[in-house]
Amino acid sequence: MKLPSRFGLLAQLLTGFAAGGVIVACLLVVGDNMLERSSQRLVTMLDQHVRPLARLHHFQSELAAMRNLELELANVHDVFAVQAHVAKMRSEGDNLDLELRDFAARLGERTPADGGRLLHHWQEYRSRVAEQMRLAEAMDLAAAGRVTTSGSRLPFDAMQALLSELADHTEIAAAEAYLETAGQQTVERRQFLLLVLLGTAVMVVGLALSGRIVVRRIRVLHGHAQQLAEGKDSGYVRISRYDEIGDLAAAFTRMREQVLSRELALRRAQLELEDRVQARTQDLRRANRRLILFSQTIEQNPVGILIAGIEGKVQYANAAYQRITGEPIGGLVGAHISETLGGGEPIDIDGAILMAVEGERGWETERQSQRADGSLYWERLHLASVQDENGVAAHLLLSREDITERHEQQEKIAYQAHYDPLTGLPNRVLAHDRLLHAMGHSRREGTRAAAMYIDLDNFKQVNDTLGHTTGDGLLRQAAARLQAAMREEDTVARLGGDEFLIILNGLAHGDDTSAVAEKIIAAFAAPFPVDDRELVTSPSIGIAIYPDDGSDATELLRNADLAMYEAKEAGRNTYRFFDRKMNADAVERLNLLGKLRGAGDRHELVLHFQPQIDLHTGTVIGCEALLRWFHPEMGLVAPGRFIPIAEDSGLIVAIGNWVLREACRQAVAWQRAGLPPLVMAVNLSAVQFRHPDIYDTVVSALAETGLHPSCLELEITESILIRDTESVLEKATRLKELGLKLSIDDFGTGYSSLSYLKRFPVDKLKVDRSFVQDMATDSEDAALVQAIVQMAKTLGLKTIAEGVEDLPVLEKLRACHCDEVQGFLFGRPMPADDFQAYLERRAYRITEQMTATLLS
C-alpha cells in the first residue's frame, strides 16, 4: 500500500509561523520608520527651539540674581562680609559668562546677528560689574554703589531686553515647528493602522483554515478515546497517516488492544491487592491497639517518664513526671534533658547518657531532689536508651520514681536498727560500730579508748514490783543522766535491759576514766522521780581500756562486762577496772560450760538423793533429788560452780528436764523395788520454770515414768513467784492441778509476801539453811524460823527445814513445830543405790536420842 507524502505538524506550524512572522516583520519595519521620522522631528524641534528657550529663561533668571547681588552689596557694611559678597558675585559672574558665551556661539551659527548682539551686551554689563567688584575689594563702597545705580543699570536693562526678545522669537518658531510636526505624524499614523489591519486579516484566515483541518481529525480520535475510556470497544481508527495525528491514531489502536488485555490483568491484581490491604489493615489495627496500650501505659504510669532524642532534646514527658518533679510538661518539651533534672544533687548527665547508651542496664541513682515550689523528695532516677529498628540507640528514656515514702521507711528502719526506741540512745549494733571506730581512732592517734559497761543496780526489782512502765521511765531518766554526764563526742548506748555502754576515746591514760565513772555515780545519787515515786538506783560500772584490756571489740566488751560483775560483787554503786584475773575466771567458766555441754550424754551427770524426815513420826517421807557432775578429769564438780553457768547459758533447761525425768524414773524404780512410796522433791530453776514447755515437760515426765503426781514435789524459789506474777500463777495453778505438790525453796531469802503466798497454790515452805544452821545459837534466826513456821501454819502450809546438822537445831525446830527436816543429821545426799540401801537397812530410822527428841 502506498502511503501519502508526509507533511508533519511541525512543518505545518513552522510554515504558518513563518507566514505570520513575515507579515509582522513588515509591519514593524514600516512602524519603526515612522517612529524614527517622528523622533527626528522632535529632536530637531527640541534642539532648535525648546532648549534655547529654556536657556534664555535661565539666563534671564541668573542675570536678575546677579543684579540682586549688585544691589545687596550696597547694604553690606561689615568689611569682612563685603569680601565674601564680592567673592560670591565673582563666582556667579564667571559661571554665567561661560554659559552665555557658549549659547551665543550656538545662536550665531543660525542667526549671526543675534549671537553678536548678545555677546556685546553681556560684555558691556560684565565690565560694569567687574568695576563694581574692584571698587568693593578696594573698600571704596561708595564708588561701587555709584556703579550699581548708574553704570551697570543700562547694560543690565539692555541685556534683559535682548534676552526677552530672543525668547519671544524662539517661542514663536517653536510653536510653528510643533504644528508642522503634529500634522505629519497624523498622516503617518493613519497609513500604519491600515497596514496593520490588512496583515491581521491575512493571518486570521490562514490560521482558521489550518486549524479546522487539524481539529476535525483530533475530534475523531477523541471520540474513539472517549469510548475506550467508557469501556467500549470503538474499533479501528480511520484517519489518514500523513502527519503526527495519523501516527497518533495508529498508536491509539495498538494501545486499545493492550489496554483491553491489561485491564483484565489489572482486575486480577486489584483483587489480590485488596486482600493484602485488608490483611495489612488488620495488622495495623492490632499494632495501633498495642501502641495505644503502650501509650496509655506510659501516660498513666505512676513513674515519671521522660523521652528525649539521643542528642538529649526532650520530646515527651508523662503526667506523673510533672506530678513528681513539679516541672510543667510544656516547659520540658524542647529543653535539654540536663535542664529537666531540677534542684538536687548535681548529676553528671553526660556520664549518665554514656552509661545509658553503652551499658546493658542503663544508669540509675537515687537522690534527694527539690521541686520548683521548694519541697524536697527522694527519687530514683533511671536512664536507659531506646533502640530503633536497626538496634541503634535513638532515644533516651528517663524514669523518675518518687521513693520518698520508701526512703523514709528505710531511714526509720535504719534508725530502729541502730537506736534504742525507749531511750533514743544508740543500741548494741551501733554501739559496737562506735566502739570499733573509737578503737581505730585510738590506734591511729596513739591514744586509748575505754568501754564502760554499766548495769543498774536493783533495776530488776523495780521492774518486777512496779511494772514495766515504771521501769521504762527509770531507764529513760537514767539514760538522760548518763548523756548529761558525758561529753558530746562520747557515746552512751543502751545494750538492752538495764545495761548501758559508754565509749570514750582520745584518752591519754586509762586512769582518766575514773573521774568519768565517779561523775556517773554522782549523777545517780539523786532519786529518780518516776510516776509520783522517787526511785533509787545506782550504777555498777565495769571499765576496759583499749588496747590494754583487749585488741578487739568483742574482747573489750566482754572484759568490761566482767569488770562490771566485779563491781556488782564489790557491793554495787561502784566501778571496777578489768584485770586479768577476771578474765581467768571467765575462761574457767567458759571451759566449764564447754565441758558441761554433753555431760549428760557422757553420763557424767548423776542424781543423789537426800532424805526428808517427818518430825512428827520420825520416818522418811521423801527425798530431794540433787544433781551431781562427775567429770573424768576434774572429778566431782561442786553444784555451786556449774549450776550458775548452766543457768546463764540456758543449759539448765535441758539438764533440769533430765533431772526431772530421772528423778521420776528413780522414784518409780524404788516403788517397783518394793520400797514404800516416797515424795520425790525436784528443784526447778527459774529459767526452767519460765520456759513455756515446763507444763508439757512435767506431764511428759510423769507419763513416761508412770510416777503418780502425788509422789512428785516441785521446788521453786521465791524469785520465780515475785516476777511476772500472773503468768507464774497461771503456770503454777496448772501444774498443781496435775496433783503434784509445790514447795518454795530457800524461803526467807527473797521478797516473799503474805499476799502471794496466799494466792499461789503452794503446799510447803522450805526454810533456808542460812536461818536453820545457826538457830540454836542465834536467837534472831530462831525467831525468824519460828515466825515462818507460824505464818505457814496460819496459811495452812507445811514447813520443812533444810541444813539440819545437829541435835540442838533439831530441838529448836521441834519446839517451833516445824513439820519436816532435811540435813546431814539424817543423811547426806547419796546415789540411788545407796539411798535404796539406806531405806532397806532402815537406816532412815534415826538414833534413839534423835527419836526421843523427835517424839518428845
Comparison of 87 and 202: residue with beta carbon closer to another protein: 87
> 820 — alpha (psi -120 to 50), left (phi > 0) or beta?
beta
Q: How far is the CB of 57 from another protein (least distance, A)?
A: 24
Q: Is 76 in the site for another protein (CB under 8 A)?
A: yes
Comparison of 76 and 830: residue with beta carbon closer to another protein: 76
Strand partners, 306: 317, 398
Could you say which residues in the range 140-159 bind another protein, by CB under 8 A? Answer: 140-141
Q: Is 231 in the site for another protein (CB under 8 A)?
A: no
Q: Is 84 in the site for another protein (CB under 8 A)?
A: yes
Q: How far is the CB of 87 from another protein (least distance, A)?
A: 4
Q: Are 206 and 19 in contact (CB under 8 A)?
A: yes
Instruction: Count residues binding another protein (CB under 8 A).
Output: 20
The whole-angstrom separation of Cα 496 and Cα 216 is: 120
Q: Is 65 in the site for another protein (CB under 8 A)?
A: no
Q: Can you read off the three cell numbers belonging to residue 38?
A: 517622528
The whole-angstrom separation of Cα 536 and Cα 521 is: 12
Comparison of 141 and 480: residue with beta carbon closer to another protein: 141
Comparison of 100 and 136: residue with beta carbon closer to another protein: 136
Comparison of 81 and 269: residue with beta carbon closer to another protein: 81
Q: How far is the CB of 81 from another protein (least distance, A)?
A: 4
Strand partners, 625: 609, 682
Q: How far is the CB of 122 from another protein (least distance, A)?
A: 22
Comparison of 65 and 291: residue with beta carbon closer to another protein: 65
Q: How far is the CB of 316 from another protein (least distance, A)?
A: 45
Comparison of 97 and 806: residue with beta carbon closer to another protein: 97
Q: How far is the CB of 149 from another protein (least distance, A)?
A: 20
Comparison of 72 and 569: residue with beta carbon closer to another protein: 72
Give the sheet arrangement for strand 363-370, strand by strand.
314-317, 304-309, 393-402, 376-387, 363-370, 343-344
Comparison of 86 and 784: residue with beta carbon closer to another protein: 86
Q: Is 80 in the site for another protein (CB under 8 A)?
A: yes
Of positions 9, 22, 65, 79, contacts another protein by CB under 8 A: 79
DSSP per-residue letters across 713-736: EEEEEHHHHHSSHHHHHHHHHHHH
Angle at 331 between CA 327 and CA 332, to 5 degrees: 75
Alpha-carbon distances of 555 from 252, 551, 649, rounded to whole Å: 113, 7, 18
Comparison of 137 and 366: residue with beta carbon closer to another protein: 137
Residue 837 — φ and ψ, nearest 5°?
Answer: -65, -40
DSSP per-residue letters across 695-719: HHHHHHHHHHHT--GGGEEEEEEHH
Q: How far is the CB of 65 from another protein (least distance, A)?
A: 15
DSSP per-residue letters across 54-72: HHHHHHHHHHHHHHHHHHH
- Show the beta-strand stretches assigned E in 578-705: 605-614, 620-631, 635-637, 679-683
The whole-angstrom separation of Cα 100 and Cα 103 is: 5
Of positions 87, 204, 273, 394, contacts another protein by CB under 8 A: 87
**Grid cell 492441778 in the structure block, residue:** 737
Q: How far is the CB of 77 from another protein (least distance, A)?
A: 6
Site string for another protein, 103-142 (x = CB under 8 A): ------------------------------xxxxxxxxx-
Comparison of 69 and 800: residue with beta carbon closer to another protein: 69
Residue 314 — φ and ψ, nearest 5°?
Answer: -70, 135
Q: How far is the CB of 144 from another protein (least distance, A)?
A: 11
Region of 74-82, 588-596, 618-626, 692-700 interacting with another protein (CB under 8 A): 74-82
Comparison of 88 and 189: residue with beta carbon closer to another protein: 88
Q: How far is the CB of 335 from another protein (least distance, A)?
A: 35
Of positions 3, 78, 373, 632, contacts another protein by CB under 8 A: 78
Q: Which of 822, 819, 759, 814 lies closest to 793, judged by CA?
A: 819
Comparison of 128 and 448: residue with beta carbon closer to another protein: 128
Q: How far is the CB of 80 from another protein (least distance, A)?
A: 4
The whole-angstrom separation of Cα 72 and Cα 83 is: 13
Q: How far is the CB of 336 from another protein (least distance, A)?
A: 36
The whole-angstrom separation of Cα 189 and Cα 186 is: 5
Of positions 66, 69, 73, 86, contacts another protein by CB under 8 A: 86
Region of 75-83, 248-256, 371-379, 819-827 interacting with another protein (CB under 8 A): 75-83
The whole-angstrom separation of Cα 493 and Cα 382 is: 39
Could you say which residues in the range 562-621 bind another protein, by CB under 8 A? Answer: none
Q: Are 765 and 747 in contact (CB under 8 A)?
A: yes
Q: Can you read off the three cell numbers belonging to residue 761?
A: 497454790
Q: How far is the CB of 84 from another protein (least distance, A)?
A: 4
Q: How far is the CB of 86 from another protein (least distance, A)?
A: 7
Comparison of 134 and 533: residue with beta carbon closer to another protein: 134
Of positions 2, 3, 5, 77, contacts another protein by CB under 8 A: 77
Longest dimension (CA), the chain: 204
Provide the 3-class DSSP secondary structure of residue 504.
Answer: strand
Q: Which residues of 786-824 are buried (b: 16+ CB within 10 A; e: fewer)?
A: bebbebbeeeebbbbbbbbeeeebbebbbebebbbbbbe
Comparison of 143 and 195: residue with beta carbon closer to another protein: 143
Q: How far is the CB of 72 from another protein (least distance, A)?
A: 11
Q: How far apart are the first and last CA of the chain?
A: 177
**Grid cell 513456821 in the structure block, residue:** 789
Q: How far is the CB of 71 from another protein (least distance, A)?
A: 16
The whole-angstrom separation of Cα 125 and Cα 66 is: 11
Q: Is the dihedral of CA 671, 676, 679, 681 positive or negative?
A: negative
Site string for another protein, 623-652 (x = CB under 8 A): ------------------------------
Provide the 3-class DSSP secondary structure of residue 637.
Answer: strand
Q: Can you read off the three cell numbers belonging to residue 461?
A: 526489782
Region of 85-93, 260-268, 623-631, 689-697 interacting with another protein (CB under 8 A): 85-93
Comparison of 78 and 633: residue with beta carbon closer to another protein: 78
Region of 79-87, 581-589, 649-657, 770-778 interacting with another protein (CB under 8 A): 79-87
Provide the 3-class DSSP secondary structure of residue 3.
Answer: coil
Q: Can you read off the three cell numbers belonging to residue 655?
A: 539438764
Q: Kindly tell me the burial class for residue 560, based on how many C-beta atoms sit within 10 Å of its own C-beta (0-12, 13-18, 19 or more).
A: buried
Comparison of 45 and 96: residue with beta carbon closer to another protein: 96
The whole-angstrom separation of Cα 755 and Cα 815 is: 27
Q: How far is the CB of 137 from another protein (least distance, A)?
A: 3
Of positions 12, 60, 83, 470, contacts another protein by CB under 8 A: 83
Q: How far is the CB of 55 from another protein (least distance, A)?
A: 23
Could you say which residues in the range 264-293 bind another protein, by CB under 8 A? Answer: none
Interhelix angle 651-672/694-705, rounded to 10 degrees, is 30
Region of 78-86, 150-158, 330-338, 729-737 interacting with another protein (CB under 8 A): 78-86
DSSP state at residue 550: -
Comparison of 127 and 794: residue with beta carbon closer to another protein: 127
Residues making contact with another protein (CB under 8 A): 76-81, 83-87, 133-141
